[in-house]
Amino acid sequence: MALTTPGLHHVTAIAGDPQRNADFYVGTLGLRFVKRTVNHDDPGTYHFYFGDREGTPGTNITFFPWSIGGRQGRFGAGQTTATAYLIRPESIDYWTDRLEAEGIDIGRTTRFGDTVLRFSDPDGIGLELVASANAETTAEPWEGSPVSVDHQLRGFHSITLAVAEVGPTASVLTDVLGFELEAETEGRRRYRADGGGPGSIVDLVETDAGRGRMGVGTVHHVAFKATDIEEQKRWRSVFAEHGLRVTEVIDRKYFHSIYSREPGGVLFEAATMGPGFTIDENVTELGSTLTLPDWLEDERKEIEEHLLEFDDPTI
Ligand code: ZN
């Protein structure tokens, strides 16, 4: 039996230069720099989180910045081709002007009745802003943003996954994660998480590009919301029942995680709603210092010496 998730928890991608990455997501897109920590599996690399005021699940795009010369990724099957944030319809002109003023090329289209602005971040990661009038949001406005509250990004709208054939990935969405096919248009199939709500959409498209290669400019994994560790343990069984390999429950300090690569090649994660980003920083101080999990505190000096050069993002 499938479990259900309310939708997306976070999206994690690989960037090049950390400064350029943070300057873009904070200075241009107006997200809050919620957390600066290191990749727990590779402590020589930063792990940045950008989201709403509190880093609410469903608002956070996160990055491992590998360096300017880091191995470039290659587009192909098994990749997330777009991470879409929700905006108000009244904000379409604002965002068009704001992005064009930065020299960013924008593609404008209409999809399932909503206006969609498509563009890429400085590393080539596909982003979209979807103007949807009635969509719900749980994003908390960030008063320190260079973008006024009215126009701020309002959490995730959806992600688009490109796969060689839709069938196997679709069956994981529906049979394991409880999504339902909602609509279909021009080679795009839209699945919605049970119950709907913010960030509950996954679109599938087919590509004949061959398997992609993970690297700078590609998404590393996408995470869905799990209530708590108990539910996560049940998820493990459901993944296994469908013949999928799945990790143990891993403590990521701000949430607990399990990971499973779906047959189309996309790495899925299920992440718990808590404890959240205020576990080691006051909400007013989020992102202001390098935080480390307890088991890396003893190595703080060496870690800081080896991390790439980085200053507070430019707003
Ligand atoms: Zn993750």
What percent of the chain has pLDDT above 90? 94
Q: Residues 172-191: pLDDT tens digits?
A: 999 999 999 999 998 999 99
pLDDT at residue 195 is higher than 90: no
Can you give the pLDDT at residue 136? 82
Instruction: Please give the distance, rounded to the nearest whole angstrom, from the Cα atom of residue 103 to the centre of ligand 1.
Output: 30
Instruction: Please give the distance, rounded to the nearest whole angstrom, from the Cα atom of residue 267 to the centre of ligand 1.
Output: 9
Q: What would the mean pLDDT of 157-167 be, rounded to a whole number?
A: 98
Q: Residues 88-142: pLDDT tens digits?
A: 999 999 999 999 999 999 999 999 999 999 999 999 999 999 999 877 888 999 9
Going from N- to C-terminal start, the domains of the chain cover: 8-306
Instruction: Please give the distance, rounded to the nearest whole angstrom, from the Cα atom of residue 224 to the centre of ligand 1.
Output: 9
Instruction: Please give the distance, rounded to the nearest whole angstrom, from the Cα atom of residue 280 to the centre of ligand 1.
Output: 18
Q: Does domain 8-306 have CATH number 3.10.180.10?
A: yes
Instruction: Please give the distance, rounded to the nearest whole angstrom, from the Cα atom of residue 113 to the centre of ligand 1.
Output: 31
Instruction: Please give the distance, rounded to the nearest whole angstrom, from the Cα atom of residue 72 to the centre of ligand 1.
Output: 20
Q: Residues 270-299: pLDDT tens digits?
A: 999 999 999 999 999 999 999 999 999 999
Instruction: Please give the distance, rounded to the nearest whole angstrom, from the Cα atom of residue 5 to the centre of ligand 1.
Output: 15
Instruction: Please give the distance, rounded to the nearest whole angstrom, from the Cα atom of residue 162 to the centre of ligand 1.
Output: 19
Model pTM greater than 0.75? yes
* Mean pLDDT, rounded, of the chain: 96
Q: Residues 44-103: pLDDT tens digits?
A: 999 999 999 999 999 999 999 999 899 999 999 999 999 999 999 999 999 999 999 999
The per-residue DSSP string of the chain comes to: ------SEEEEEEEES-HHHHHIIIIIIT--EEEEEEEETTEEEEEEEEEESTT--TTSEEEEEE--TTSPBPB--BTEEEEEEEEE-GGGHHHHHHHHHHTT---EEEEETTEEEEEEE-TT--EEEEEE-SS----PPP-TT-SS-GGGS--SEEEEEEEES-HHHHHHHHHHTS--EEEEEETTEEEEE-TT--TT-EEEEEE--S-B-B-SBTSEEEEEEEES-HHHHHHHHHHHHHTT---PPPEE-SSEEEEEEE-TTSPEEEEEEEEE-GGGSS-GGGTTSSB---GGGGGGHHHHHHHSPP--PPP-
pLDDT at residue 1 is higher than 70: no
